[in-house]
Homo-oligomer: A and B are copies of this chain.
Amino acid sequence: MKGKWVEVDKQRMDAVIVAANGHAECRKLRDVKAGDPIVCGHDGIRVTPEFRERDRLGFAFMNNDVSSERRVEGSVARIAKMMREVKKAGGRIAVVAGPVVVHTGGVEHFSDLIRQGFVDVVLAGNALAVHDIEFALSGTSLGIDLAAGAPVEQGHRNHMAAINTINRAGGIRAAVETGILTSGVMYECVKNNVDFVLAGSIRDDGPLPETLMDLITAQERYAAALSGNVQMVLMLSSMLHSIGVGNMLPSWVRVVCVDINPAVVTKLSDRGSAQTVGVVTDVGLFLHRLAEALGS
C-alpha cells in the first residue's frame, strides 16, 4: 500500500481483506460494514506460503492420496517430530477432538499429551466433554464399560448423571477445583491451563455450563483461541468442528486430520490448505502410539 508491502492481520480462509490507513486485515462477511474498503481481485496481493519453513518442519512426507492401506507408525513418528519442533520454536498446538476419542480409548493418551505440554488449545463440542466426564466419573462411555468393552447394567444413566454432577458443581472448572472431577481430558485442560472452547450443536443434551450455545460467540472464541500463534492443528474424529476450525485458519498452519473413515479425511484434506496431512486409522490406537512417541 502506497508502494509498501503490508502484511494482512487475522488471516483466515473464509474472509475478505479490509485495507485502510496502511493496515490490512481479514474480516468475516458478517462483520463487514458499509463503506469498508475491501480488496477485490488478485492484483497487488502476494501469497507467501513459507515453503522453506514447511520443508524444514518435515512436511515433505505429505502424501496427496488418502488411503487406509498405509503404515501409520511412520506417520506417527513424523507427526511427533513436527510437534516437538513447533513447541521448540515457541509455537502453539491446537487439538480438535470428537467423542470418538473417548469411545476408542484415547482419553488416557490424550491426557498424557496434555501433561507433557504438547497441547495448548482444545476445541471441541459438548459431547467430547460429556463422554470424557462420564468416563472419569463412572468408567463408562454412553454406558459401555471401556475396560470390559461391554454395556453396564443401568449404564445409560451414567451419561445423564455426569451432566447433572457438573451442573450441580457449577461447571467443569468448578468440578475440578472442588475435587469432584479428578481425571480425563477436561480435568487435564483445567489443571494444565489449556485453553478449551466447547461449541454447542443441535444434537447436544444438557448442555454443560461451559458449552457455548450461542454460535456467534462460539465462533469468535474458537477464532480467538487459534489466533495466538497456533502453528499446528490436530483434527481427531470430528468432521463438524474440524470444518469449523479449517475455515478459520490461515493457510500456513500445519493440519493433521485423523479419522477411520477415508471419506472424512479426504473431505477435510480438500478444504484448501496446502499443508494438510490425512491419516486413516483408529484414533484410540493412534493417540496411544503418539503419546509413546512423544514420551520417549
Contact surface of A with B, Cβ cutoff 8 Å: 14, 28-30, 61, 63, 65-75, 78, 100, 103-105, 125, 144, 146-150, 160, 163-164, 199-207, 213-216, 218-219, 222, 240-241, 243-244, 247, 260-263, 266-267, 270, 280-282, 284-286, 288-289
Contacts and interface: CB of A to CB of B under 8 A. Distances in A.
A285 to B, nearest CB: 4
A30 B164 CA distance: 9
A105 to B, nearest CB: 3
Contacts of A222: 202
Contacts of A78: 149
Q: In this complex, which of A103, A149, A214 has the most chain B Cβ atoms within 10 angstroms of its Cβ?
A: A149
- Count of identical protomers in the assembly: 4
A71 B104 contact: yes
Contacts of A214: 213-215
A282 B68 contact: yes
Contact of A240 (B105, B202, B219): B202
Contact of A199 (B30, B125, B202, B218): B202
Given A14-B205, A213-B215, A286-B285, A149 B71 contact: yes
Nearest to A68: B260
A114 B204 CA distance: 29
A45 B118 CA distance: 51
Centre residue among A71, A149, A216, A219 by max chain B CB count within 10 A: A71
A34 B95 CA distance: 38
7 interchain residue pairs of minimum CB distance: A71-B105, A202-B244, A74-B149, A203-B244, A285-B285, A203-B243, A281-B282
